[in-house]
Chain A
Amino acid sequence: MSAVIDAHHDDHHHGPAKGITRWLYTTNHKDIGSMYLWFSFIMFLAGGVMALVIRAELFQPGQSFVEPHFFNQMTTMHGLVMVFGAIMPAFVGLANWMLPMMVGAPDMALPRMNNLSFWILPFASLMLISTLFMEGGGPDFGWTMYAPLSTTYAPDSVTFMIFAIHLLGASSIMGAINIIATILNMRAPGMTLMKMPMFVWTWLITAYLLIAVMPVLAGAVTMMLFDIHFGTSCFDAAGGGDPVLFQHIFWFFGHPEVYIMILPAFGIVSHVIPAFSRKRLFGYDSMVYATSSIAFLSFIVWAHHMFTVGMPLAGQLFFMYATMLIAVPTGVKVFNWISTMWQGSMTFETPMLFALAFVFLFTVGGFSGVMLAIAPADYQYHDTYFVVAHFHYVLVSGALFSIFCAVYYWLPKWTGFMYSEALGKLHFWLSFIGVNLAFFPMHFSGLAGMPRRIPDYALQFANFNAWSTVGAFVFGLSQLLFLYLVIKCIRGGQKATAGVWDGAEGLEWTVPSPAPYHTFSTPPVVK
């Protein structure tokens, strides 16, 4: 340890260390941000392969490629890997890279814990994915882990899934604590709360959500663990417990969790749309208040996932109206983005294309959400492909598109080179077409009654499913293009200026591209 301590005098002057230990031992927010982003991309590919297995099986009715039991493992692991391995770490990676630069801080507030948060992920994910190779197979009860499928009837490997979730949760909580400390404690002088960039605001609120609900998830899986191994009966009605209790606890976590995956996206889009409209963000204050109200409301709507379990009528009504209420602040945000573009001098570089697609397609997902929120109608929609369509519109063309948007927007700042605009646009259009082809037909098959998570279906759904599969493969394969584009951009290209985009504002654009290894060892003054 003493070596570390002695080295601090020249902390701010040396660049990255050499070799593999640079990544193992680093405390630098940019290194850690890069590791998060690469990790999430690998998990994205892993989860993507699972999705393609699902879609291949569903290309035609009947059993074609995989056993039903394996199909169940694929739907489960696809969900878990994408949520905990791809989307969440990608946002944390972006936070790592951008937050310190946006608030004018030298690094994250707790740099070593930052590295710990990251390095837990590979171990946890290894543990999670290894369950697929265990005797009895991996978890096969859906990412929502409903008891008693996940307790009484679960394969042995569920124990490892539980511990993997504990680890992932611990990583998220530490990440969130770090982000809060950074934002509240390390802003440059003059940067008051209401001057913070929107990405900072949305991440601050997201971090609170994380700290509030990840422990609840930990509680839920801990109860599972005890039911499985120590004979408790939390989720067993015979012993006085209740399987529905699991759903309540899970969704108390689960609904805020979906906002954890979308609030940072709101932040990103609130940077990109003004930049390419060459106007200030319309209604900054209302954006902040809308984000806060969404976060608050997200705690009191969880049972809209459970309308069909047999809740008392008063409960159904409460959760129905509370859920619909969320559409109001969400509408405020969409309105503000559109007003920002109004009469702007817009250009349509790749980040802007993704941002625009985000606004459109996320809104489509929001609309199907409001449909689902109508309790009596949800009796029909629940557990059909309509729900699958809904959450893929908000998560793929919402959260994931915003991540692409962010990568294109900040990639020149990270690498110092411009990416290939032609390839970027190609990636965008292929993704855009792929997503819609894959998920739009699911609205129809769902409304017609096709249940989710079933490896076979009635003949009447054949056409919709064939299209969905084609779309999924187009989308999946076009991500390899993205990988190629990013590697190409890292290795060279047209030099990026400090400002990169002519309408972009914020502290990150005041430092050179690529951003030096240490930025803002002396805080800038914000006026």
Chain B
Amino acid sequence: MAQQEAGGHEAYYVPSESKLPVWLAFGLGVMLYGLGAWMNSAQTGGHGKELLFVVGFVVVAIALYRWFAAVIEENHRGMNSAQVKRSYVWGMGWFIFSEVMFFAAFFGALFYIRFLALPWLGGEGEKGITGQYLWPDFTVDWNAGTNPHPQWATPDATLAAPPLTQWLAYLPFYNTVVLLTSSVTIHVAHTALKEGNRSKLNLWLGITVALGILFLILQMAEYVHAYRDLGLTLNTGIYGSTFFLLTGFHGFHVTLGTFMLIVMLARCLKGHFTKEDHFGFEATAWYWHFVDVVWLGLFLFVYVF
């Protein structure tokens, strides 16, 4: 029952005052300042600089929790007109676009290194003169993760994909299957929600959460394998750098997405959302599809090609 104004136009709900934004900004500032202090002290072997980061994180977490709670509460009270809801839709959509651009930077770096910079360092291509003068002994072997300067450790092997016939024994393949499946299951859950079939909704959303967690577990196994068995680390030159940066930031986003899914599951179990009005759920689903698509890019360009 959004307020009606004269002329039949629905009033746009403008919250009057809120303590949350300034607290959230404060928390973010403290958290990142703390993180910086922590990193700098860790660099020199120092300890005990984590506190500020933790305090900031707690402030951020509380502020975000109360913020979302407030928005949900407002929606339950019917204060959000269709127009207000459209603003949230635009907001989430463009937020996801900004995330896409964040990953674009890392994919761009990967392509530039693989197809331009590294061949040049190896003495090939239009700027191959770089390699001829500076690193005459270096030949590029991306899949072996070799580096121009011997000071950089080289991994025993990389995680590049084997021939198709061996994919059944290839862990990233299962990661792909798990994540793709989860995109389908969340879609089924969404359909169930629109049909008003709550038990089906809870079941399929639960399965999606489980798949998200499974992905994270597999990803951890993958990292352990890379670190322990193959000696592939952040310190093994550019192959390790791009591998861990891309999969790491993706994994971080999957963690966030799984957390969002869990919250949605809790809300579904509490009986939130209606057939027509469930943008929180939809936003989470979009986010989930987004991490899925990023993974496809990763699988293709980090592992397969």
Contact = CB atoms under 8 A, between A and B. Distances in A.
B108 A230 contact: no
A9 B4 CA distance: 12
B256 interface: no
B169 to A, nearest CB: 29
A523 B17 contact: no
A429 interface: no
Contacts of A186: 12, 83, 87
Interface in A157-173: 159-160, 162-164, 166-167, 170, 173
Contacts of A25: 17-19, 21-22
B102 A109 contact: no
A252 B69 CA distance: 38
A167 B39 contact: no
Nearest to A120: B25
B234 A212 contact: no
Nearest to A227: B241
Interface stretch (B144-152, B210-218, B270-278): B144-152
A226 B21 contact: no
Interface in A411-467: none
A218 interface: yes
A113 B21 contact: yes
B33 interface: yes
Instruction: Say which size band chain A's interface belongs to.
Output: 35 or more
A232 B233 CA distance: 9
B238 A239 contact: yes
B79 A8 contact: yes
30 contacts: A5-B79, A8-B79, A107-B12, A109-B87, A112-B67, A119-B25, A120-B28, A122-B25, A160-B36, A173-B95, A177-B95, A181-B91, A211-B94, A212-B97, A215-B98, A216-B105, A218-B105, A223-B105, A231-B235, A232-B234, A234-B238, A237-B134, A238-B147, A238-B151, A239-B237, A240-B148, A240-B237, A241-B237, A242-B112, A311-B127
Interface string B78-115: 01000100111011001101110110111011001100
Interface in A241-300: 241-242, 244-245, 248-249, 252
A105 to B, nearest CB: 7
A522 B11 CA distance: 7
Nearest to B95: A177
Interface stretch (A123-131, A323-331, A481-489, A495-503): A123-131
A229 B38 CA distance: 11
Nearest to B126: A312
A120 B21 CA distance: 9
Interface residues of B, number: 83
Nearest to B70: A1
If over half of A's interface residues share one DSSP class (helix, strand or loop), that class is named, otherwise mixed; here it is: helix
Given A215-B105, A252-B108, A523-B9, A116 B25 contact: yes
A233 interface: yes
Contact of A223 (B9, B14, B245): B245
Contacts of A229: 39, 42-43
Interface string B211-242: 00000000000000000000001110111111
Given A181-B90, A211-B101, A216-B104, 17 more contacts: A4-B15, A4-B18, A8-B15, A11-B13, A26-B17, A27-B16, A116-B21, A119-B24, A122-B25, A177-B91, A185-B83, A223-B105, A223-B109, A234-B241, A240-B121, A248-B112, A312-B127
A268 B148 CA distance: 52
Contacts of A310: 127, 130
Q: Which 5 A-B pairs have the closest CB atoms?
A: A219-B105, A123-B29, A240-B238, A238-B149, A119-B25
Contacts of A116: 20-22, 24-25
Contacts of A219: 102, 104-106, 109
B73 interface: yes
A106 interface: yes
Contacts, number: 259
Contacts of B16: 4, 7-8, 11, 14, 27
A231 B19 CA distance: 40
A383 interface: no
B118 interface: yes
Nearest to B69: A1
A106 B20 contact: no
A521 interface: yes
A177 to B, nearest CB: 5
Contacts of A230: 234
Nearest to B13: A8
B178 interface: no
A107 B83 CA distance: 13
Contacts of A355: none
Residue picked from A7, A111, A178, A522, most chain B C-beta under 10 Å: A111
Contact of A233 (B32, B95, B152): B152
B163 interface: no
B159 interface: no
A69 interface: no
A245 B113 contact: yes
Nearest to A17: B17
A195 interface: no
A53 interface: no
